Amino acid sequence: MKVLLVSPALKTMDVYQVRARGCMPPLNLLYIAAVLARGGHEVKIIDLYAEGLSEEEFLSRARAFGPQLAGFATYTASFDMAAAGARLLKENFPGLKTVAGGIHASYLPAQCLKGGAFDCVVVGEGELTMLELADALAAKADLFAVPGLVLPKDGGAFATPRRPLIEDLAALPLPDYSLVDLSKYYLGITRAVSTAPAASVLTMRGCPYQCTFCSHHYGYGGRVRKRAPAGVVSEMKALYDNYGVREFQIEDPSFTCDPAHVREICRLIVESGMKISWNCNVRANTASEELFSSMAGAGCRRALLGVESGSQELLDRMKKGITLEAVRRTMALAKKHGMRVNAAFLLGTPGETLETARRTYEFALELDPDYVMFSVYIPSPGGELFDGLAGEGRLDLDKVYGADYITVYSEREPMVELSEVPAAQLLSLMETYTRGFYLRPSYVFKRLRTLLLPGEISRVLWGVALIFSHRFRRLADRLAGKKLDENSWTY
């Protein structure tokens, strides 16, 4: 069977946002494609986010392939685009079956089936379910016998038995990078070290933490299943040798949750002889001299640290599992070992006040990381806060869309006001704090000293444009006669 896998575009993202975020290969689809190919199916990937194709270009690519099944990765921020793409294919390919997968579809399958864009939804890990779905369609077998699906039935949605998690990750084939053009991908401006070819790698699935604002633990039940370090490094070496990859982004949401696992990966990277740079997400509660020394020695040059707040009370309420003092130690270790850190801060969670927001900004200035990301929280499907709001009827599940967070450069998605600070004021604080941090003379001087590094001038210029991009768009809207609806900031 011919299976087309599609990574949708993000219609609200402009060039500044894409550059900030980066554009990395769709690792989820590459894993599914490898499993489908091993099962005897013919697979093609179209990455609309990376390629920016028009509708006609998308259809032309699809016609050249002639799919019988089309699978769309779904995220809350891009679900509308995924559904539009599925409808477009169904209109042009009679008999084509469409399926949605990913975190958004897994959490809100019934909502995804409404409107008729998708014939079914894959819930949870997609590799084995997609293979059995393709097999069943090819054999004209009963789809209701395939575990891990949600299908329309009697005007509603029917869930087949839930598929167990894949226990042995080594049983999966490696992602099939032959299906994408790696030259179209690049790291975000706070992640890149050079302009060398880049790729992603996963060392584990799941997250052991239960942060109330986050959905990373959803679908895995808080369970972590780790890949063997030798398998991880073997995959990196294959990309290094076969595709010229010299920079890696480790996609684990909490890469350093198991320091021994990380240290063994680092040891094997050094042993392999690869000359690479890489970035990852780090946790303040697991940072140590031994860990950061190993990471730096193996090529770690960039790290994202989720700080979230300068208020210990709010951190505890978020179930973050870290202390302000642990964050200070982590920042000191990163600086000692030459890692640039992007510190992420979250405004607007329950309990936020003007005082706690001010303390968060002051904590950011104290830490003085290389980059900051102040965001305003939007409830994320799969997170504890989202569940609570949905249970209280404060969210319309048929209209959930947008990114997980609002940043200084993103569109202003509808918000649920969860604290005493009004939505409009949170947005204003976010912009004030971001510009206040980056426009300090000491920070500007620090960045100017790095301009001779490969690609640094470009990253700095993109960063400056990014900080002011939303103001540029608002000015353009005013000049075009558009009026800003203050009420659009809340549900």
> Which residue matches tokens 């980066």?
22
Q: Is 285 in a helix, a strand, or coil? A: helix
- 3-state DSSP call for residue 457? helix
Q: 257 with 222: CB under 8 angstroms?
A: no
Element (H, E) at 107: helix 103-107
Domains and CATH numbers, the chain: 2-159 (3.40.50.280), 186-475 (3.80.30.20)
Q: How far apart are CA 122 and CA 120, in angstroms?
A: 7
pTM exceeding the 0.85 threshold for the entire prediction:
yes
Please state, in angstroms and rounded to a whole number, the distance separating the CA atoms of residues 38 and 171.
Answer: 12
Report the distance separating Cα 423 and Cα 406, nearest Å. Answer: 11
- Distance, in Å, from the CA atom of 85 to the CA atom of 72, rounded to the nearest integer, reads 8
The Cβ-side half-sphere exposure at 125, using a 13 Å CA radius, reads 18
- Residuewise pLDDT in 10s, the chain (491 residues): 999 999 998 765 556 566 677 889 999 999 999 999 999 999 999 999 899 899 999 999 999 999 999 999 998 878 889 999 999 999 999 999 999 999 889 999 999 999 899 999 999 999 999 999 999 999 999 999 999 999 999 999 999 999 999 999 999 999 999 999 999 999 988 888 888 999 999 999 999 999 999 888 766 666 899 999 999 999 999 999 999 999 999 999 999 999 999 999 999 999 999 999 999 999 999 999 999 999 999 999 999 999 999 999 999 999 999 999 999 999 999 999 999 999 999 999 999 999 999 999 999 999 999 999 999 988 888 888 988 988 888 887 877 765 555 665 455 555 678 899 998 899 899 989 999 999 999 988 887 877 767 677 776 666 666 666 656 566 666 666 665 544 343 43
Write down the residue that tokens 């900004």 correspond to. Answer: 361
Give the whole-angstrom CA distance, residue 343 versus residue 282. Answer: 10
Look at the chain and count its residues: 491
Where would I find the beta strands (DSSP E) of 156-237?
Answer: 156-159, 198-201, 204-205, 225-226
CA distance 198 to 364: 29
* Tokens representing residue 320 in the block: 């973050």
Q: How far is Cα 253 from Cα 201, in angstroms, rounded to an integer?
A: 12
Residues 6+ positions from 81 with CB-CB distance below 8 Å:
8, 9, 10, 11, 48
* Tokens, residue 181: 């053009």
Q: Which residue has the tokens 């978020």?
A: 318
Amino acid at 448: L
Q: What type of residue sits at position 406? A: I
Residue with tokens 């990196």: 236
Q: What are phi and psi of 77, to 5 degrees?
A: -70, -20
Largest CA distance in the chain: 67
Give the Cβ contact number of residue 125 at 10 Å: 23
